[in-house]
Amino acid sequence: MTACDSIVCDFRHPSRLKLKYSAQLFRKVSAMPPGRNPGNADTQNPQTSQFISRILAILSFIQSVDKPTRLSLIAQETRIPKTTTHRLLVELVEHDMVRRHGNYYTLGPSVLRLAEKRGSEREVLRRAIKPVLLQLHSRTGYIVGLAVPNSSSIRFIDTVYNETYIPTIQKLESNYPLSTSAAGKILLAYDSNLTTCIVPGHRGSAQKNNTIAIPPDFAEELFRIREQRMSTVAASASTDIAAAAVPIFDAEQRAVAALTLGAYNDCFQLALARVMLRKAVDHVALLTRRHAAQPCQS
């Protein structure tokens, strides 16, 4: 992540922050380096950090609703004062990050273009590491998945499995909560921005110390996951699938996806999954570096 020149203070009016270069702003607030939280991104300028957190919260909520949304609902769900929400929406509309339709708001073309680019990058990633997914499945017989964050959920953009898992795969391929899946937990451990999506009633809201109120036990679990560079979850009643996941990093060392192995609880061998995933993630790193060094062919 490059240094941000997309947010500047208007020093003639210090109480007001201006948006500049909206595409750069959105890339910054949606992809901060691991360990950075929008609530404490800049301890020297709490006004800037609050501004980023609120912008991210508004855009995240509008995206998650996926339909035209009223100002009052945006303010209510993000817990940002209504007058402040209106002022920020005016700025976002001005820079085409949000579109206004009467009393309703949707994502604007600047954000949608970035989303299209992100989708293209994910497709490149999916194709690049497909051989790894096939090899993992061949050696283990487990479900192998490539997952990416999708607001408060994870979404599998590729899966490899056999007929044994057909009764379960539809549940797994639907949007699964970040906080309860192996893929979601590994992504949360490496991208603190995602925590604004999972804390109930705190969609982007900040405490007095500008941090998000993550339950201490869960925060400790994420810390351990990051130390181990792997997350695991036991089988749930709904799927009976136990799983493990490791992060996949882009060229800037941001965790952009998760590689997962899962199997029915009575078949899942955690030791085998750990060994196979650690070998696979090294191979994935080599493949992604190779693809990053090559121009994308359309």
| pLDDT at residue 124 tops 50 | yes
Mean pLDDT, residues 77-102 taken together: 89
pLDDT in the model for residue 154? 84
80 contacts 88 by C-beta, under 8 angstroms = yes
Q: 20 pLDDT exceeds 80?
A: no
Q: Is the pLDDT of residue 251 over 50?
A: yes
Q: How many CB atoms lie within 10 A of CB 113?
A: 13
Report yes or no: 39 and 206 within 8 Å, Cβ to Cβ: yes
> Two tokens at 216?
């201490």
pLDDT tens sequence across 263-288: 999 999 999 999 999 989 888 877 66
pLDDT at 259 over 80: yes
% of the chain beyond a pLDDT of 90: 28
What's the rounded Cα separation, in Å, for the pair 62 and 66? 6
Mean pLDDT of 230-235: 92
Rg of the chain over all Cα atoms, to the nearest angstrom? 20
Q: Which residue has the higher pLDDT, 150 or 99?
A: 99
**Segment 152-181 mean pLDDT:** 83
Residue 23 has pLDDT above 70, yes or no: no
pLDDT at 116: 56
Higher pLDDT: 84 or 171? It is: 84
The pTM assigned to this predicted structure is 0.57
Lowest mean pLDDT among 18-32, 106-120, 259-273: 18-32
What's the whole-number mean pLDDT along residues 161-182? Answer: 82
If phi > 0 it is left, if psi is from -120 to 50 it is alpha, else beta; for residue 201 that is left
DSSP state of 251: T
- pLDDT averaged over every residue in the chain: 75
* pLDDT at position 293: 54
pLDDT at 111: 73
Structural domains for the chain: 7-109 (1.10.10.10), 112-293 (3.30.450.40)
228 token code pair: 């181990």
* Across 33-37, average pLDDT: 41
The count of other CB atoms within 10 Å of the CB of residue 156 is: 22
Name which residue leads in pLDDT, 177 or 260.
Answer: 260
More confident call, 119 vs 102: 102
Kindly state the percentage of the chain with pLDDT values over 70. 69
Position 130 pLDDT exceeds 90: no
